[in-house]
Amino acid sequence: MNRAAIKQKLAAIGAGSVSETEYARKGFALDVQVAPEQLVAAVSALDAEGFFIEAVTGVDWLGEQAALRKEAEAKAAAEAKAKAEAAAAAGEEAPPAEPVAEQGELPEDALEAVYDFNHYESLCRVTIRTRVPRSKPEVPTITQIYPGANWHERETHDFFGITFVGHPYLEPLLLPEDADYHPLLKDFRP
Protein backbone atom coordinates (compact mmCIF):
# COMPACT_ATOMS: atom_id res chain seq x y z
CA MET A 1 0.00 0.00 0.00
CA ASN A 2 1.19 3.37 -1.01
CA ARG A 3 1.75 6.18 1.47
CA ALA A 4 1.45 8.80 -1.24
CA ALA A 5 -1.91 7.38 -2.36
CA ILE A 6 -3.29 7.55 1.19
CA LYS A 7 -1.95 11.07 1.47
CA GLN A 8 -3.68 12.08 -1.74
CA LYS A 9 -6.96 10.49 -0.68
CA LEU A 10 -6.94 12.31 2.63
CA ALA A 11 -6.06 15.60 0.96
CA ALA A 12 -8.97 15.07 -1.45
CA ILE A 13 -11.51 15.15 1.38
CA GLY A 14 -10.12 18.53 2.40
CA ALA A 15 -8.08 17.57 5.42
CA GLY A 16 -6.41 20.57 7.05
CA SER A 17 -2.92 19.21 6.76
CA VAL A 18 -1.41 15.85 5.89
CA SER A 19 2.28 15.56 6.64
CA GLU A 20 4.67 12.67 6.34
CA THR A 21 6.75 12.25 9.47
CA GLU A 22 10.07 10.57 9.92
CA TYR A 23 9.05 7.12 11.09
CA ALA A 24 12.25 6.26 12.99
CA ARG A 25 12.06 9.44 15.02
CA LYS A 26 8.31 9.70 15.63
CA GLY A 27 6.95 6.19 15.39
CA PHE A 28 4.16 7.01 12.95
CA ALA A 29 4.17 7.67 9.23
CA LEU A 30 1.37 10.17 8.54
CA ASP A 31 0.15 12.99 10.74
CA VAL A 32 -3.26 14.23 9.64
CA GLN A 33 -5.09 17.26 10.99
CA VAL A 34 -8.80 17.47 10.16
CA ALA A 35 -11.78 19.57 11.20
CA PRO A 36 -14.39 17.63 13.19
CA GLU A 37 -16.76 17.73 10.18
CA GLN A 38 -14.22 15.92 8.00
CA LEU A 39 -13.40 13.24 10.54
CA VAL A 40 -15.93 10.66 9.37
CA ALA A 41 -14.85 11.06 5.73
CA ALA A 42 -11.18 10.70 6.67
CA VAL A 43 -11.80 7.58 8.76
CA SER A 44 -13.96 6.08 5.98
CA ALA A 45 -11.07 6.59 3.57
CA LEU A 46 -8.76 4.65 5.88
CA ASP A 47 -11.39 1.94 6.35
CA ALA A 48 -11.61 1.51 2.58
CA GLU A 49 -7.83 1.00 2.48
CA GLY A 50 -8.01 -1.81 5.04
CA PHE A 51 -6.60 -0.05 8.10
CA PHE A 52 -7.38 -1.33 11.59
CA ILE A 53 -8.14 0.88 14.56
CA GLU A 54 -5.46 1.01 17.19
CA ALA A 55 -6.67 3.57 19.71
CA VAL A 56 -8.59 6.76 20.30
CA THR A 57 -7.49 9.23 22.92
CA GLY A 58 -7.32 12.92 23.74
CA VAL A 59 -4.92 15.67 24.72
CA ASP A 60 -5.89 18.72 26.76
CA TRP A 61 -4.14 21.84 25.49
CA LEU A 62 -5.09 24.07 28.42
CA GLY A 63 -2.83 27.12 28.56
CA GLU A 64 -1.54 26.65 25.04
CA GLN A 65 -2.90 29.96 23.71
CA ALA A 66 -1.45 31.92 26.63
CA ALA A 67 1.92 30.24 26.10
CA LEU A 68 1.82 30.99 22.37
CA ARG A 69 1.07 34.67 23.03
CA LYS A 70 3.83 34.90 25.63
CA GLU A 71 6.24 33.38 23.14
CA ALA A 72 5.17 35.84 20.43
CA GLU A 73 5.51 38.78 22.83
CA ALA A 74 8.96 37.70 23.93
CA LYS A 75 9.99 37.38 20.30
CA ALA A 76 8.64 40.84 19.44
CA ALA A 77 10.38 42.37 22.46
CA ALA A 78 13.68 40.72 21.51
CA GLU A 79 13.35 42.00 17.96
CA ALA A 80 12.66 45.57 19.10
CA LYS A 81 15.62 45.41 21.46
CA ALA A 82 17.93 44.16 18.70
CA LYS A 83 16.73 46.96 16.42
CA ALA A 84 17.38 49.60 19.04
CA GLU A 85 20.84 48.21 19.76
CA ALA A 86 21.72 48.14 16.07
CA ALA A 87 20.62 51.75 15.73
CA ALA A 88 22.67 52.79 18.79
CA ALA A 89 25.74 51.03 17.42
CA ALA A 90 25.38 52.95 14.14
CA GLY A 91 25.28 56.18 16.14
CA GLU A 92 21.75 56.94 15.16
CA GLU A 93 18.97 58.04 17.33
CA ALA A 94 16.91 55.11 18.52
CA PRO A 95 13.76 54.77 16.41
CA PRO A 96 10.58 55.43 18.29
CA ALA A 97 9.24 52.33 19.98
CA GLU A 98 6.52 50.71 17.94
CA PRO A 99 3.15 50.90 19.56
CA VAL A 100 2.24 47.63 21.21
CA ALA A 101 -0.40 45.94 19.10
CA GLU A 102 -3.75 45.79 20.80
CA GLN A 103 -4.17 42.24 22.08
CA GLY A 104 -7.69 40.96 22.03
CA GLU A 105 -9.01 38.29 24.31
CA LEU A 106 -7.13 35.03 24.16
CA PRO A 107 -8.60 32.52 21.71
CA GLU A 108 -10.06 29.53 23.48
CA ASP A 109 -7.85 26.55 24.30
CA ALA A 110 -8.60 23.30 22.55
CA LEU A 111 -9.17 19.66 23.36
CA GLU A 112 -7.63 17.37 20.79
CA ALA A 113 -9.01 13.94 19.88
CA VAL A 114 -6.29 11.66 18.53
CA TYR A 115 -7.03 8.56 16.43
CA ASP A 116 -4.39 5.96 15.69
CA PHE A 117 -4.75 3.59 12.76
CA ASN A 118 -2.40 0.90 11.60
CA HIS A 119 -2.23 -1.57 8.74
CA TYR A 120 -1.76 -5.34 9.07
CA GLU A 121 0.20 -5.70 5.84
CA SER A 122 2.38 -2.65 5.43
CA LEU A 123 4.18 -0.35 7.80
CA CYS A 124 1.98 2.75 7.86
CA ARG A 125 0.69 4.10 11.15
CA VAL A 126 -1.65 7.03 10.55
CA THR A 127 -2.51 9.54 13.26
CA ILE A 128 -5.62 11.67 12.76
CA ARG A 129 -6.16 14.67 15.02
CA THR A 130 -9.11 16.94 15.37
CA ARG A 131 -9.41 19.96 17.63
CA VAL A 132 -12.54 21.21 19.37
CA PRO A 133 -13.04 24.13 21.78
CA ARG A 134 -12.83 23.19 25.46
CA SER A 135 -16.23 24.72 26.23
CA LYS A 136 -18.05 22.64 23.60
CA PRO A 137 -16.05 19.47 22.94
CA GLU A 138 -18.15 17.66 20.38
CA VAL A 139 -16.76 15.21 17.84
CA PRO A 140 -18.80 12.91 15.60
CA THR A 141 -18.60 9.23 16.50
CA ILE A 142 -16.91 6.70 14.21
CA THR A 143 -18.54 3.63 15.76
CA GLN A 144 -20.63 3.08 12.61
CA ILE A 145 -17.36 2.56 10.68
CA TYR A 146 -15.28 0.80 13.34
CA PRO A 147 -17.36 -0.90 16.05
CA GLY A 148 -14.10 -1.22 17.99
CA ALA A 149 -14.10 2.57 18.45
CA ASN A 150 -17.04 2.16 20.84
CA TRP A 151 -14.93 1.44 23.93
CA HIS A 152 -12.12 3.79 22.94
CA GLU A 153 -14.59 6.67 22.60
CA ARG A 154 -16.23 5.82 25.91
CA GLU A 155 -12.80 5.84 27.57
CA THR A 156 -11.94 9.19 25.98
CA HIS A 157 -15.28 10.57 27.16
CA ASP A 158 -14.48 9.33 30.70
CA PHE A 159 -11.07 10.95 30.79
CA PHE A 160 -11.61 14.19 28.84
CA GLY A 161 -15.34 14.80 28.64
CA ILE A 162 -15.30 14.84 24.86
CA THR A 163 -18.82 14.10 23.61
CA PHE A 164 -18.92 11.73 20.66
CA VAL A 165 -22.10 12.78 18.90
CA GLY A 166 -24.11 9.79 17.73
CA HIS A 167 -22.40 7.27 20.01
CA PRO A 168 -24.90 4.53 20.90
CA TYR A 169 -23.94 4.16 24.58
CA LEU A 170 -21.73 6.94 25.94
CA GLU A 171 -21.72 5.71 29.55
CA PRO A 172 -18.66 5.57 31.84
CA LEU A 173 -16.50 2.58 30.96
CA LEU A 174 -13.50 2.64 33.30
CA LEU A 175 -14.70 5.23 35.81
CA PRO A 176 -17.54 4.53 38.27
CA GLU A 177 -21.00 4.62 36.72
CA ASP A 178 -21.91 7.88 38.51
CA ALA A 179 -18.66 9.69 37.67
CA ASP A 180 -19.17 13.32 36.64
CA TYR A 181 -15.51 14.33 36.48
CA HIS A 182 -12.85 13.99 33.80
CA PRO A 183 -9.48 13.24 35.41
CA LEU A 184 -7.18 13.89 32.47
CA LEU A 185 -8.27 17.50 32.04
CA LYS A 186 -5.39 19.69 33.14
CA ASP A 187 -7.62 21.73 35.47
CA PHE A 188 -9.01 18.63 37.22
CA ARG A 189 -8.59 18.74 40.98
CA PRO A 190 -9.59 15.64 42.93
Told to check if 62 binds another protein by CB under 8 A, we report no
* Residue type at position 19: S
> Binding another protein by CB under 8 A: which of 20, 26, 81, 85?
26
Residues 164, 158: contact at Cβ < 8 Å?
A: no
Q: Which stretch binds another protein (CB under 8 A): 2-10, 91-99, 101-109, 142-150?
A: 142-150
Q: How far is the CB of 187 from another protein (least distance, A)?
A: 13
Quote the CA–CA distance of 165 and 141 in Å, as a whole number. 6
Quote the CA–CA distance of 32 and 34 in Å, as a whole number. 6
The total of other beta-carbon atoms located within 10 Å of residue 183's CB is: 14
Told to check if 151 binds another protein by CB under 8 A, we report yes
Residues 150, 167: contact at Cβ < 8 Å?
A: yes
> Binding another protein by CB under 8 A: which of 120, 178, 180, 189?
120
Told to check if 116 binds another protein by CB under 8 A, we report yes
Told to check if 164 binds another protein by CB under 8 A, we report no
- State which H helix or E strand residue 159 sits in: helix 149-160
> Binding another protein by CB under 8 A: which of 15, 45, 53, 128?
53
Told to check if 55 binds another protein by CB under 8 A, we report yes
Q: CA nearest 137: which of 155, 152, 156, 151? A: 156
> Binding another protein by CB under 8 A: which of 25, 99, 102, 180?
25
Told to check if 184 binds another protein by CB under 8 A, we report yes
Q: CA nearest 70: which of 103, 96, 99? A: 103
Interface contacts to another protein, rule CB under 8 A: 25-28, 50-55, 57, 59-60, 114, 116, 118, 120, 123, 125, 127, 146-148, 150-151, 159, 172-176, 183-184
